[in-house]
Amino acid sequence: MIKIGILGDIGSGKSYAAEHFGYPVFNADIEVGKLYKKDRKIFNKLKKTLPKYIYSFPLKKSEISNAILANKPNLKKIIAIVHPEIRKRMNIFLKKNVNKKILILDIPLLLENKINKKNDILIFVQSKKKEILKRLKKRKNFNLLLLKKFKDIQLSLDFKKKKSQFIIENDFTNKSLKRSIKKILKEII
């Protein structure tokens, strides 16, 4: 089984690219969303750790955002509670798909949390900063301060790019993205 980790800036189109490979994708952001909506155990841990900010189940992203914006240690506290559960879900995904030729890992903090293995293939999705910001501003919960807090805990884009075996130039057109993916898959398989 070949595991492909998708790296890149927030809003660069990592998830979009991941979906276009045509293989099973583990999307950590989607899994976090499911945790917030359905996992009362996680809610109770977050409520106990951050009682000033977390008070309703299913968890609202606004409560999480407010906690993160209030002070830097809160983000680390949330990560300490949420990430072990996401890692468990990823391991279940990997076991369930053990017979697949290729699996895609769309995990924003893949390198930061040392989730990737030495022989995994890393692909960096690169987009123009101007395009990324334009796209991020269209998101309904866009918050520049929150974005900065998330970027602060991430490794530099240059580092991620250097660690990657392939780079996809994402100009947000299907044609060029599919061409890049096809070329990469041809090299990998």
d(CA 96, CA 168): 28
- Whether residues 106 and 189 fall in one domain: yes
How remote is the C-alpha of 77 from its chain's centroid?
A: 18
> Which residue range(s) make up the domain with 36?
28-96
**Of 61, 80, 96, which marks where a domain is finished?**
96
Lowest mean pLDDT among 16-20, 33-37, 83-87, 171-175: 171-175
Which tokens belong to 89? 């879900």
- For 83, residues 6+ apart whose C-beta sits below 8 A from its C-beta are 109, 113
- Overall average pLDDT of the 7-34 stretch: 96
Q: Could you give phi then psi for residue 100, rounded to 5 degrees?
A: -80, 150
Buried/exposed 99-111: b ≥16 CB within 10 Å, e otherwise: eeebbbbbbbbbb
- For 166, residues 6+ apart whose C-beta sits below 8 A from its C-beta are 121, 122, 123, 124, 184, 187
Confidence category of residue 83, pLDDT binned at 50, 70, 90: very high
Q: What CATH number does residue 128 fall under? A: 3.40.50.300
Is the predicted pLDDT of residue 8 greater than 90, yes or no?
yes
In the chain, the number of structural domains is 2
User: For residue 63, what is the enclosing H or E element?
Assistant: helix 61-70
- Whether residues 109 and 19 fall in one domain: yes
**Of 40, 73, 96, which marks where a domain is finished?**
96
Contact 121, 18 (CB under 8 A): no
Q: Provide the whole-model pTM.
A: 0.92
Q: 66: buried, middle or exposed (CB in 10 Å: 19+, 13-18, 0-12)?
A: middle
Q: What is the pLDDT of residue 171?
A: 86
Higher pLDDT, 77 or 116: 77
- For 90, residues 6+ apart whose C-beta sits below 8 A from its C-beta are 26, 28, 31, 105, 107, 115
- Overall average pLDDT of the 85-108 stretch: 96
- Whether residues 69 and 152 fall in one domain: no
- Whether residues 173 and 119 fall in one domain: yes
Contact 106, 4 (CB under 8 A): no
Q: What is the pLDDT of residue 135?
A: 86
Q: What is the pLDDT of residue 145?
A: 86
- Whether residues 118 and 84 fall in one domain: no
Q: What is the pLDDT of residue 91?
A: 96
Q: What is the pLDDT of residue 134?
A: 87
